[in-house]
Amino acid sequence: MVGRVARWRSPWWTATAALVPVTLTAWAATPPGGYFTTAVVASLCWLAVGLAWLVTAGAALVAPHRPRLRQAWRLWPFLLVPALLVATHGAVDRDLVGRAAFAAHQSALEALVAEPDRRLADQRVGLFEVDVDVDRPNGCTVLTVAGAGLLGPTGWAHCPDRVPVSAKVDGYKYAPLDGPWYEFTLDW
């Protein structure tokens, strides 16, 4: 069987398996503050795929090849897993996933904040389940994403009249997002 690679030494199964942590990492970064549990599971999946990739790449490099230099080009698929890791974490670090999710849900969120001033709990907006609270000292409608954040609630704030002030008094920190929209976190 010349030219045929054993399945366990093939780079394609690790590259295919890397799609699981890519998806979990992107999902964990979707809401402001992220989903902590999903991020931990994604990290464990990255660890498992990384170890499998190391074993597979090591076995492919050690395996006897005919003239090694002429066959080296066949090892390019082993670069897929590191490329997926770098691309995924680059997209998450630049908040491309979170901003894309917000842009996809912005019209539904605006329709939700346009409703009369009342407290709404467990409202489904696309991918997210949010609680809406209108009575905040700085005049914002706060949409808290269920399950997001590590130690405190996080979500979006709609402040059409003025720029919200991050204060140590109530613990809310605001970061500008788009127009009257802000991401908020509650710090302890």
pLDDT digits (tens, 9 = 90+) for 101-119: 999 999 999 988 887 666 7
Q: What is the pLDDT of residue 149?
A: 85
CA distances from 17 to 11, 46, 81, 123, 126 (A): 10, 9, 9, 34, 28
Nearest to 80 by CA among 128, 131, 27, 17: 17
Same domain for 89 and 112, yes or no, is no
Same domain for 70 and 109, yes or no, is no
pLDDT confidence bin for 185, thresholds 50/70/90: confident
Q: What is the pLDDT of residue 101?
A: 93
Nearest to 156 by CA among 43, 12, 126, 45: 126
Same domain for 51 and 126, yes or no, is no
84 in a structural domain? yes
DSSP 8-state assignment for residue 7 = G
pLDDT confidence bin for 167, thresholds 50/70/90: low
Report field, pTM of the whole predicted structure over 0.85: no
Residues paired with 132 in a beta bridge: 120, 143
CA distance 135 to 139: 7
Same domain for 89 and 166, yes or no, is no
> Which helix (H) or strand (E) is 129 found in, with range?
strand 128-133
pLDDT at 170 over 70: no
pLDDT at 136 over 90: no
42 in a structural domain? yes
Q: Please give the average per-residue pLDDT across 63-72, as a whole number.
A: 59
The residue type of 68 is R
Per the structure, how many domains does the chain have? 2
Same domain for 153 and 74, yes or no, is no
Q: Please give the average per-residue pLDDT across 74-88, as a whole number.
A: 88
3-state secondary structure of 23: helix
CA distance 140 to 112: 13
Tens digit of pLDDT for each residue in 2-43?
Answer: 455 555 567 788 889 999 999 999 999 999 989 999 999 999
Same domain for 23 and 61, yes or no, is yes
pLDDT at 168 over 80: no
Q: Which domain does 179 fall in, by range?
A: 97-186
Long-range contacts of residues 111-115, Cβ cutoff 8 Å, at least 24 apart? 112/143, 113/141, 113/143, 113/158
* Strand-pair category, 120-125 with 128-133: antiparallel
Same domain for 15 and 90, yes or no, is yes
pLDDT at 1 over 90: no
